Amino acid sequence: MAADRKRVAGPETSVAPLVEYPIDHQPWTPFTEKRHNSHRQPEDLRPIYLKTGLISEANGSAYIELEKTKLTCGVYGPRPIKRAGQGFSDRGTLNCEIKFATFSCVKRRGTMRDAQEKELSQILSQGLTPAVRLELFPKSNVDIYITVLESDGWGSCVAAAFTVASVALAHAGIEMLDLVAGCSASYVPTSIPSNSNSSSSSTTESSTGAGSTVTPQIFMDADLEEEKYQQGSIVLAYMPSLNQTTHVLQTGKAEGSIISQSVEHCVEACNKIFAVMNHALLESIDQKKL
């Protein structure tokens, strides 16, 4: 039987690389420092790099980078629906698919789409559909393919997917009511609960347990290290010009005041992201004129 020379199989057993830390190195915890990145305040976002026109074969494309979070998106269509048995529809359909690269996460992802990726694809479709004028292209389909090249936090990855997909749709010339900006916030306790033990393991358990009495602090655009200590999180998809929310994804438990405050912070952050999105689209127009 001939060997498969086109596929590079990884080793059956592997070990983590050896990283040498200083002798006085201490792992980050929210109880000793405010944020994993000492230069960021709780309300600060990571710097955003947004570029259009990455995929030449697609009708529209965009690339977004937030430090260690990197996503690329390609939009194809509108094109006729070719599925057999599909009846007439006076509105177009929006098909979203998100795929994590095998090397994008700390734990290696599979090559086939798993349940989490299918769930995220449905969430993206629900959040982007209200912004697209699907009534303008009946019996047609718009396909959105998002690839996560590197993920540094689940909430920031989903929020970045909303942003990059919206910019790619606009770059493809799909008529929209407004751009959709995504933002995430995490509820992280920054002090040790009164009922915690002295050990670090019990501290982590008590900070997320039911007996915790500490009011968590809102960390905007939390990274992977900060998400390890979060009690909950929220991802908001928002249309800044229309002042309308298209999707809210809430996980974990938190008081109503914390949730409402995090929504207000996310709306303010989406307005800032909206300016970056507009700038990226204006740059793409200037490049076409050249």
pLDDT tens per residue across span 46-67:
999 999 998 989 999 999 999 8
Residue 36 falls within a domain, yes or no?
no
Residue 11 falls within a domain, yes or no?
no
- The β-bridge partners of 140 are 80
- The β-bridge partners of 225 are none
**Exposure on the CB side of residue 181, measured as CA atoms within 13 A:** 22
**pLDDT for residue 85:** 55
Residue scoring higher pLDDT (46 or 210): 46
**pLDDT for residue 286:** 76
133-144 mean pLDDT:
91
Residue scoring higher pLDDT (73 or 211): 73
For residue 21, what is the enclosing H or E element?
none
Residue 169 falls within a domain, yes or no?
yes
215-233 mean pLDDT:
90
Poorest-pLDDT segment among 29-38, 124-133, 194-203, 230-239:
194-203
**pLDDT for residue 48:** 95
* H helices, E strands: number in the chain: 5, 9
**pLDDT for residue 222:** 92
200 has a pLDDT exceeding 60: no
Residue 21 falls within a domain, yes or no?
no
163 has a pLDDT exceeding 50: yes
> Would you place residue 214 in the very low, low, confident or very high pLDDT band (cuts 50, 70, 90)?
confident
175-180 mean pLDDT:
95
Residue 60 falls within a domain, yes or no?
yes
- The β-bridge partners of 28 are none
Residue 110 falls within a domain, yes or no?
yes
> Would you place residue 209 in the very low, low, confident or very high pLDDT band (cuts 50, 70, 90)?
very low
**pLDDT for residue 87:** 60
Residue 41 falls within a domain, yes or no?
no
> Would you place residue 33 in the very low, low, confident or very high pLDDT band (cuts 50, 70, 90)?
confident
Over its C-alpha atoms, the chain yields an Rg (Å, rounded) of: 21
Torsion sign, CA atoms 78, 80, 85, 89: positive
Name the residue with tokens 């008590």: 206
Residue scoring higher pLDDT (93 or 12): 93
CA-to-CA distance for 156 and 183, rounded, in angstroms? 7
For 178-189, the DSSP string reads: S--EEEEEEEE-
Nearest to 174 by CA among 140, 146, 148, 126: 140
Which amino acid is it at 283? E
Q: What is the CATH number of the domain that holds 112?
A: 3.30.230.70
Rounded mean pLDDT of the chain? Answer: 85
Query: How many structural domains comprise the chain?
Result: 1
Residue 139 falls within a domain, yes or no?
yes
Domain that holds residue 162: 49-289
How far is the CA of 255 from the CAs of 31, 164, 214, 238, in angstroms?
Answer: 21, 31, 11, 22
SS3 per-residue string spanning 73-108: EEEEEEEECCCCCCCCCCCCEEEEEEEECCCCCCCC
CA-to-CA distance for 168 and 150, rounded, in angstroms? 19
What pTM was estimated for this model as a whole? 0.83
254-267 mean pLDDT:
92
Q: What is the DSSP letter of 176?
A: B
**pLDDT for residue 113:** 85
**pLDDT for residue 10:** 65
**pLDDT for residue 193:** 59
**pLDDT for residue 24:** 72
